[in-house]
Structure formats: structure tokens, C-alpha cells
Amino acid sequence: MATLRASHLNFFLFLSGIVVVAGVAATERVPNPNNNTTGTTSACPSYRCGHAVDIRYPFWIDGGNGSLNGSYHCGYPSLRLECRRDTPVLRLPSGDYAVTHILYGDRTVSLFDLGVFSRSNTCPLVGRNLTLPDGSPLSLTARDANLTFFIHCSFMGIPAHQVACLEGDGRHHSYVFRDGDDLTPYGYAGLCQDVVGMPVLRRSLLGKTGAAASGPLDAVVPALNMGFELSWRPEARGECGGCEKSGGLCGHRRQAARDAWTFTCFRTGTTTSAWGAPKSSGTQHCVAFNQKVRTQKSLSLD
């Protein structure tokens, strides 16, 4: 009987070894290139685009050195950046915005609207409201204020708020107002070609009004140049929310350039895993847990 029990025990240990080996094989290490990291503790690659902005999770750069021929990305899909002439750019439905700072502790990102000025024109090119993607984790902060432009209007307004360089044909007039102005002519919006609200940092407008300056652009242009700020919230629902709650980092993977992206939860090499993934020594690595493969493996081992 003792011999039989020992045989059963050895057989059980043999099967357990198979489970552990299968679990390790199911994991996949994603390259974390040393020449592109900035020494952060994040398991996902971090990037430099230029010299001013440290780009890391949940932001990422498409086609950066951290991706394997574009086969994966580690970050929120809506926080994808492009590196253009050493400038990180966030593409939103309303246009392209240069990223000037990212504060990860505060979860805020500072942006500048690339469509505001052209190289040969000092007059703001006003024509679009800020638009965020549906379901985006981004939102304006309490440190933002709003500049409202009334473009090509048929009424005569307040000269202190008139923007002469946006006059157009000379018969229509354009005006700019900031949050809190008592004379903002919202009731006349129907008499204007367009009404555009543009966010700026509230501190950029302190003590600067159209009446206090020689013209409204003396206050408006520096504020637009300073840009504005967005905050982001951690994902709380869906696959990404579940991944982060379990200690993972959200991302997507595809086998080939034309394949569809599939959700992947990345975990650090030091994260305890039911699959018995090997622990990292020294530098942390990314370990990808493909949800579909993991589920199929679990079913096959039951």
C-alpha cells in the first residue's frame, strides 16, 4: 500500500512539473531595450522624444524602439504619441497637440495646440474646439480656463475684446472673451460664423484683460502659447481595468503588421503569477500574458 501511495505521489509530482513547464512556456517575454529606457521601475519600455519629456506608461510611442516591429504596445490605446522632429505629439479628434510635460505623480499632461499659429502668422488660427475621443481617460483640470472666440460676427461689440487680425472682409468682426467676463455676448452667437472655445492655463490670464493691454492679443497670445493641461484617470473597467487591478499593465499585441490588435496584459518579471513565470533578477522585464492562450491552457490542464 505504501509503495502504491509513493507511486501516486511521484506521478502527481510529475504532472505538477508538466503544469509548471507549460505555464512558463505560455508566457512571453517582450524585449525591453536598454538603449531606450530611462531607468524607471515600470515594466514597460520608456522613451525619449527630444530631451524634455519622459514618455512611459500609460503613454507610449508608436513605432518606437520599444516595440518589436510594431508587434506590441504597452499603454492605453488613446494615449498613443508620435515623435515628430523631437516633439511628442498627441493626436485628438480636434487635431494635433504637442506634449510639453508629463507629470506622472499628478497624472497630468501639458499640451500645446499645433494648429493655433503658423510660422508666418502671429494671429491665432482659431477654428476648432478641443475634442476628446469617446471613452478617453483624459479630461480638463481645475487649472484650465476657457477663451471663447466669436468669429466673423455681424454685430459691433466691445472694442477692448475685438481681434483686429481676425476681421476677415472688414464687415464682420471677431472678439475674444475669457471665463468670468461679464460682457461675453453669448446671446449673439447666432450672428457669428463660429464660436470656438479654447482651453488655456488659468494662471496665464491672471491680471491680463483686454482693457489692461494695448489689445486683446497682448493677453491672448501668451496664454495660447503656454498651452493647457489635461489629467488622465486609471482604467477602472473592462479588460484593462481588470489587468491593472491584478497588478498588470495594459497593452495590445499582433502577430503581423496587418493583423488586428488583441488585448494583452503585461506583468513585471517580479509579479507573482499562477503560471510560475520566472522571476527577474536586476532589471525588470515585460512578461506578456495573452488572455486567450492562458484560458485555453487552463482548460487543457483541468
Q: What pLDDT digit, counting tens, does each position of 231-277 carry? A: 999 988 888 999 999 889 999 888 777 788 899 998 765 443 322 22
Looking at the fold, whether 239 and 168 belong to one and the same domain comes out as no
Looking at the fold, whether 79 and 173 belong to one and the same domain comes out as no
- The reply to whether 286 falls in a domain is no
Give the residue ranges of the chain where pLDDT is below 70.
1-43, 63-70, 118-121, 168, 207-214, 268-302
| pLDDT confidence of residue 278 | 26
| pLDDT confidence of residue 130 | 93
- The reply to whether 4 falls in a domain is no
Distance of CA 66 to the CA centre of its chain: 17
| pLDDT confidence of residue 290 | 37
| pLDDT confidence of residue 217 | 79
- Per residue, what are the HEC states of 15-80? HHHHHHHHHHHHCEEECCCHHHCCCCCCCCCCEECCCCCEECCCCEECCCCCCCCCCEEECCHHHE
| pLDDT confidence of residue 63 | 62
| pLDDT confidence of residue 120 | 62
- The reply to whether 225 falls in a domain is yes
Report the number of distinct structural domains present in the chain.
2
> Half-sphere exposure of residue 189, counting CA atoms within 13 Å on the CB side?
10
Looking at the fold, whether 162 and 206 belong to one and the same domain comes out as yes
In Å, what is the CA distance from 188 to each residue of 139, 150, 163, 216? 29, 9, 17, 20
Looking at the fold, whether 154 and 202 belong to one and the same domain comes out as yes
Looking at the fold, whether 102 and 202 belong to one and the same domain comes out as yes
Looking at the fold, whether 62 and 186 belong to one and the same domain comes out as no
Looking at the fold, whether 109 and 187 belong to one and the same domain comes out as yes
- The reply to whether 101 falls in a domain is yes
* Amino acid letter, 2: A
Looking at the fold, whether 256 and 160 belong to one and the same domain comes out as no
Looking at the fold, whether 115 and 174 belong to one and the same domain comes out as yes
Query: In terms of residue numbers, what domain contains 64?
Result: 42-91+234-267
> Half-sphere exposure of residue 173, counting CA atoms within 13 Å on the CB side?
13
- The reply to whether 183 falls in a domain is yes
- The reply to whether 279 falls in a domain is no
| pLDDT confidence of residue 156 | 84
| pLDDT confidence of residue 291 | 38
- The reply to whether 258 falls in a domain is yes
| pLDDT confidence of residue 139 | 96
| pLDDT confidence of residue 5 | 46
